[in-house]
Chains A and B, each alone.
Chain A
Amino acid sequence: MAKKVKTYQLKVPSSTDQLEIIREFVTGVARKVGFREDELNKIELAVDEASTNVVKHAYGYDDRKPIEIQLRVEPDQFVIQITDKGKGFKPDQVKKPDMKEYLAKMRVGGLGIYLMKTMMDEVEFSIDPGRKNMVRMVKYITPETVHPTRTVS
């Protein structure tokens, strides 16, 4: 028999004061999945960075626009999809940051995507500016990432 897939959804205005709510929503579900504390921290940070990018870059701080967060708990992976309808970007052109160079130039942004890729097992973007931009991030559910007592759904 195929195992059940559970889905969860949150839609909030594109504003930085929603970041806390987004983090709590995602970590709440991830905790139920049974992820260990350090994995919860990674998931929390990846989701925050992705959502912050939407607020700042896709919508340019326009809080009338929505951010949608969809979670899918599959038997062997936890999938997070963050969707916006704002300005897209070219994911291939975002380079891994050189911290020394950052410091020298006093640049204060651009670390988000690097962190997302470091924190999650898979990160992919699909960009269609003004229609649907989406980042899909995956954390594998393995004996290393979840508590041994985790109840299998």
Chain B
Amino acid sequence: MNGFEVAQHNSEDGITILRLKGFLDAHTAGDLEAALQKCIDEKKFRIVVNFEELNYISSAGLGVFMGFIEDVRENGGDIKMTSMTEKIFHVFDLLGFPALYDILKTDDEAVERFAQTEKE
């Protein structure tokens, strides 16, 4: 039984897109942790996480992002989140994540946002 998958896609402009699928709980959070750790190890600090096919998240899943964001930002990057369903967004919203993270509708918007930051 494999309830969670992360697919990594490297875009041409040096942005890494992680597409999450399935459910993210205390059992599967380690897989996401490993995927983000791999990005850091490979010095890929501009990360987009796409939630379109994620159908469930608990605090264990949210915690993973909190564990990496500082490291990523210190290295001039960011973790931007896209394509959340209403159900998933509700959990992020409840914990005040929209004030701390860029949560966008599409991957394109996230890529655009990275491009803007670069110009500044």
| A, B bound | yes
CB distance from B93 to the nearest CB of A (A): 11
Interface residues of B in 85-111 (CB under 8 A from A): 87, 90-91, 94-97, 99-100
Cα A122 to Cα B60 in complex, Å, equals 22
Per-position binary interface string of chain A over residues 118-137, scored 1 when its CB falls under 8 Å from any chain B CB and 0 otherwise: 10000000000000000000
Contacts of B69 in A (CB 8 A): 103
Selected contact of B26 from candidates A45, A52, A97, A106, CB within 8 Å: A52
Residue in chain A with minimal CB distance to B28: A16
CB distance from B31 to the nearest CB of A (A): 12
User: Are A108 and B26 in contact, with the CB atoms below 8 A?
Assistant: no
Cα A84 to Cα B17 in complex, Å, equals 40
Contacts of B3 in A (CB 8 A): 20
CB distance from A114 to the nearest CB of B (A): 8
B contacts with A: majority SS: helix
CB distance from A153 to the nearest CB of B (A): 28
Contacts of B40 in A (CB 8 A): none
What total of chain A residues lie within 8 Å of the partner, measured CB to CB?
Answer: 28
User: Are B58 and A49 in contact, with the CB atoms below 8 A?
Assistant: yes
User: Are A20 and B58 in contact, with the CB atoms below 8 A?
Assistant: no
- Decide yes or no: A48 and B25 within 8 Å by CB, A20-B3, A103-B100, A111-B95 being known contacts: yes
Q: List chain B positions with a Cβ less than 8 A from chain A.
A: 1, 3, 23, 25-27, 56, 58-60, 62-64, 66-67, 69-70, 87, 90-91, 94-97, 99-100
Given contacts A100-B96, A109-B59, 19 further A-B contacts (CB under 8 A): A16-B26, A23-B56, A38-B87, A41-B87, A45-B58, A48-B58, A49-B58, A56-B26, A99-B95, A103-B70, A103-B100, A106-B67, A108-B63, A108-B64, A109-B63, A111-B59, A111-B63, A112-B59, A115-B94
Interface pairs (26), CB distance under 8 Å:
A16-B25, A16-B26, A16-B27, A20-B3, A20-B23, A20-B25, A38-B87, A41-B87, A44-B56, A45-B58, A48-B25, A52-B25, A52-B59, A55-B26, A56-B26, A97-B95, A99-B95, A99-B97, A103-B69, A106-B70, A107-B66, A108-B63, A108-B64, A111-B95, A114-B95, A115-B59
